[in-house]
Structure 1
Amino acid sequence: MSVNGYQDILQGPLRSYLELSKQIGGDVATHANLVNEAFQAQYKYIQLAASRSKPSQSEEMQLLAPTSDKISAIQQFREKNRASTFFNHLSAISESIPALGWVAISPTPAPYVKEMNDAGQFYTNRVLKDWKEKDKTHVEWCRTWVQLLSDLQAFVKQYHTTGLVWSGKGGAPAPPPPPAGGLPPPPPMLPEVDFGNLSVDDRSALFAEINQGEAITSSLRKVTSDMQTHKNPQLRQGPAPFKAATKSAPVKALPTPGAGNIPDKPPVFTRDGKKWIIEFQKGNPNLVVENTDMNNMVYMFRCRDSALTVRGKVNGVILDSCTKCAVVFDNLVSGIEFVNCQSVQMQVLGKVPTISIDKTDGCQIYLSPESLDVEVVSSKSSEMNVLVPKGDGDYTEHPIPEQYKTVINKPPTGLTTTPVESKG
């Protein structure tokens, strides 16, 4: 009955979504083909669960791989088409397609599907706003996609209330879900200026002074000719305007980029829901994150002289304000990001799609043979090197350009910028 129930989803709301996507065409139609492949992969997985007992964890991960790969392809298609006219359409699907990860969630898979459905509605609302007056097809497209995931939630609640049911052993704890999409954690918010301490009277006086116009300078004292030192040399013979202090005042050190000095705070190594938090570690080369899920994010903040190993497949890794740190990982769904770091290294043993480097001085990137198609995005950074394996255990080092040359196009229609490659 579970298989028949899933067939109803494929033949009902999924088919309607595919037909509407085909009508819209372009990137939406191409994206929809990937979505269809993901649902078909899950259908085969459900058929398998209905015909056998629960496999071992390692075998189960292999069986989940086709669905997981399709979800990754859907999300990567969105990332590669950010300039698309239908970017909001692509984002609505990419943010909510991890709902197919319910097969690996227990004991509450149905609420997980709803959570993913809600995550995509931010972008479906954008589509509605942009297209409701232009083309009703897009409105119906949004409604059909939301309904598809709602029907999936009802299906899970009816047939797999506490987790995917295998015909031999019933609903047992399942492996990690496929990667959950979504943006990396937002940066810390800037401190707000407290205007509450400024009373109404103070503000009134301030605006009154500003509104004086030219009269605002009337209270300034005029410098007469007898006060001017270039006309009265004797004025220069007086005491120096600034007298040196008898005791030198302490000089405040300039702030250093990157992590600087680690605050005197206790080190943190904890898991908070889908996020691993590693903070204020100092001189610790044995940091290990394991037993991970594919929707996990690993966040390393203000650590120094430490090394992190991430085992398994996770969604992404972020190093923020770290100095002289290294990270080694197996596979990432979205990518790794370095922000405000100094002298950091990374090594990928499996696959990583993107590497982002921002405001970082010194970054060594060791790639694996499977990651040679990686995309590296850098800004406001220096001393960056990509090390490509040669096959004999050695690496070839390639510096990332830090200087650029810009010329004006002829006829002057814009600018052309090219990197200045290192000759050293």
Structure 2
Amino acid sequence: MNVSDCLRDIYIGTFAEYITASNSLGAMVKEQSVLVNSLFKLEINLMQILQKYKKPVHPQEEDIFLEPIAKQINIIKNFTIENGRDCSYLHYISDSVDIFHWMKESDLEVFVERFSDYIIAYKDIYRDSSFGVKLSRWLETWTRILEEFSESVLTNFKTGLVWHGTENLPTQAVLGDKTEFRNYDHAALFKEINQGENITRILRRRNESAEATNSTSE
């Protein structure tokens, strides 16, 4: 079973139980779970990219595919900051959601080990009868997600992020080995490309703009 299939199994299994438990609690917990659902889908999408394509030449190209996960984690954390005073349970998710941003870690065993403390603490909490049946079920499903996701990452990426595919990334096919690629706001650059602009014209225009700025500053 490949890593993408492993994550899908978690998604249709334990993660689906977490969504159901979140929906039963409703309100802010349900809203937060919608954001977490988007995050998990981004993880699955990343696994599909890693399986299909080979490692890009430029690190910035790789970052383009990793950045959405980091942004979604920040959205979840900001949501919790804004609403956590009214619903303290949101912190159980946002405090441990960083496990989904494992891709840049040099030692995944050490990284994953950090989350074992959350797993132990959460188990103590949801096993406490005073916590409430619905809340216990909700936190128990999230704890299992942490366990299963940790195992999946360590099994498939023990030495770090690996590109298993044989095809070039579409971005690489467009940009080739242009050294100018390293110097730009890459998200904005690809937005322009996706809108149909020619890459040579884009780079020339940006070079002219940079030169004009430098001349003015001198």
- The verdict on a shared fold, with TM-score over 0.5 as the criterion, is yes
Please report how far the alpha carbon of residue 117 of structure 1 lies from its aligned counterpart in structure 2 after TM superposition: 4.9
In the alignment, which of 78, 83, 104 is matched to residue 85 of structure 2? 83
SS in 2 for 1:154: helix
> Within 1, Cα distance between the matches of 2:38 and 2:159?
26
Kindly indicate whether residue 59 of structure 2 is the aligned counterpart of residue 62 of structure 1.
no
> Within 1, Cα distance between the matches of 2:98 and 2:59?
20
Superposed CA offset, 1:60-111 (max 9, x none): 2211111111100110011101321x31x211111100001112223x3244
Kindly indicate whether residue 66 of structure 2 is the aligned counterpart of residue 28 of structure 1.
no
Q: Which moved further from structure 2: 90-99 or 55-64?
A: 55-64
Q: Judge conservation of contact 1:5–1:155 (CA < 8 Å) in 2.
A: yes
Q: In the alignment, which residue of structure 2 is the partner of 1:113?
A: 112
> Within 2, Cα distance between the matches of 1:125 and 1:4?
27
Q: Judge conservation of contact 1:95–1:116 (CA < 8 Å) in 2.
A: no
Letter in structure 2 aligned against 1:26: A
Please report how far the alpha carbon of residue 52 of structure 1 lies from its aligned counterpart in structure 2 after TM superposition: 0.8
Q: In the alignment, which residue of structure 2 is the partner of 1:40?
A: 41
Please report how far the alpha carbon of residue 120 of structure 1 lies from its aligned counterpart in structure 2 after TM superposition: 7.0
Q: Judge conservation of contact 1:99–1:117 (CA < 8 Å) in 2.
A: no
> Within 2, Cα distance between the matches of 1:75 and 1:120?
19
More strand by share: 1
Q: In the alignment, which residue of structure 2 is the partner of 1:135?
A: 132
In the alignment, which of 164, 167, 183 is matched to residue 164 of structure 2? 167
Q: In the alignment, which residue of structure 2 is the partner of 1:147?
A: 144
Kindly indicate whether residue 73 of structure 2 is the aligned counterpart of residue 74 of structure 1.
no
More helix by share: 2
* TM-score, scaled relative to structure 1: 0.36
Superposed CA offset, 1:242-280 (max 9, x none): xxxxxxxxxxxxxxxxxxxxxxxxxxxxxxxxxxxxxxx
SS in 2 for 1:48: helix
Q: Judge conservation of contact 1:97–1:116 (CA < 8 Å) in 2.
A: no
Note the residue ranges of structure 2 that are not aligned, 5 or more in a row: 167-218
* 1:5-404 pair list within 5 angstroms: 5-55=6-56, 56-84=58-86, 86-87=87-88, 89-106=89-106, 108-119=107-118, 122=121, 124=122, 128=126, 132-133=129-130, 135-168=132-165
Q: Judge conservation of contact 1:34–1:74 (CA < 8 Å) in 2.
A: yes
Note the residue ranges of structure 1 that are not aligned, 5 or more in a row: 170-424
* TM-score, scaled relative to structure 2: 0.68
Superposed CA offset, 1:201-220 (max 9, x none): xxxxxxxxxxxxxxxxxxxx
> Within 2, Cα distance between the matches of 1:70 and 1:40?
11
Report % sequence identity: 25
Letter in structure 2 aligned against 1:112: F
Please report how far the alpha carbon of residue 133 of structure 1 lies from its aligned counterpart in structure 2 after TM superposition: 2.8
SS in 2 for 1:161: coil
Structure 1 segments of 4 or more deviating over 2 A? 116-122, 124-129, 131-135
Cα root mean square deviation, aligned: 2.3
> Within 2, Cα distance between the matches of 1:160 and 1:11?
22
Q: Judge conservation of contact 2:50–2:162 (CA < 8 Å) in 1.
A: yes
Larger Rg: 1
* Alignment CA distance shift 1:147-1:12 (3 Å): same
> Within 1, Cα distance between the matches of 2:126 and 2:4?
33
